Amino acid sequence: MALKATNCPGCGKLFLNPGPGKYCPNCMKKQEEQMDEIASFVRDNPRSSVSEICAALSVKKALVIAMLQSGRLEESNINIKYPCASCGKMIRHGRYCKACGKKITGEIAASLQRVRKNAAEQREKKGIYSKDQWMK
Ligand SMILES: [Zn+2]
Ligand SMILES: [Zn+2]
């Protein structure tokens, strides 16, 4: 299968893209370097905020936040806060604040329960229906 040439979302250069949303080798390398820079900056300045990091290293805020969310900066004992992906409250770990995390897990559990209940009801209805059919 031939690789399709697409524009890199980072620099706009046309290159043979191995998959959707991928960056060209140049940008990948640059991003890795930036992540290393961010990581060492944060080690030296554990109390800096996300905007301070961006200003100091001229990196994209999204990159810093992506690193935080994936836990890449956690072991450097940082004190950075970034907004919860749901309510915007400032947090330090993961994607959501405690309240949203709890709410989301609760919602998932509740919808699973609903799905199970529906399936059980469907089975019951079908059971009755086929019995009626049988009686006729
Ligand atoms: Zn690029
Ligand atoms: Zn939240």
Q: What is the pLDDT of residues 47-70, one digit of tens each?
A: 888 889 999 999 998 888 888 888
Phi-psi region of 5 (alpha: psi -120 to 50; beta: other; left: phi over 0): beta
Q: Does residue 85 belong to any structural domain of this protein?
A: no
Q: Rg for the chain (alpha carbons), in Å?
A: 24
91 CA → ligand 1 middle, Å: 31
Query: What is the residue range of 32's domain?
Result: 1-80
70 CA → ligand 1 middle, Å: 22
19 with 62, same domain?
yes
pLDDT tens by residue, 74-106: 655 566 778 899 999 988 878 899 999 999 999
Nearest to 80 by CA among 48, 52, 53: 48
Tokens describing residue 47: 């109390």
**Res. 73: pLDDT tops 70:** yes
54 with 9, same domain?
yes
109 CA → ligand 2 middle, Å: 18
Q: Does residue 31 belong to any structural domain of this protein?
A: yes
Cα separation, 132 vs 99, whole angstroms: 49
Cα separation, 56 vs 47, whole angstroms: 13
15 CA → ligand 1 middle, Å: 8
70 with 121, same domain?
no
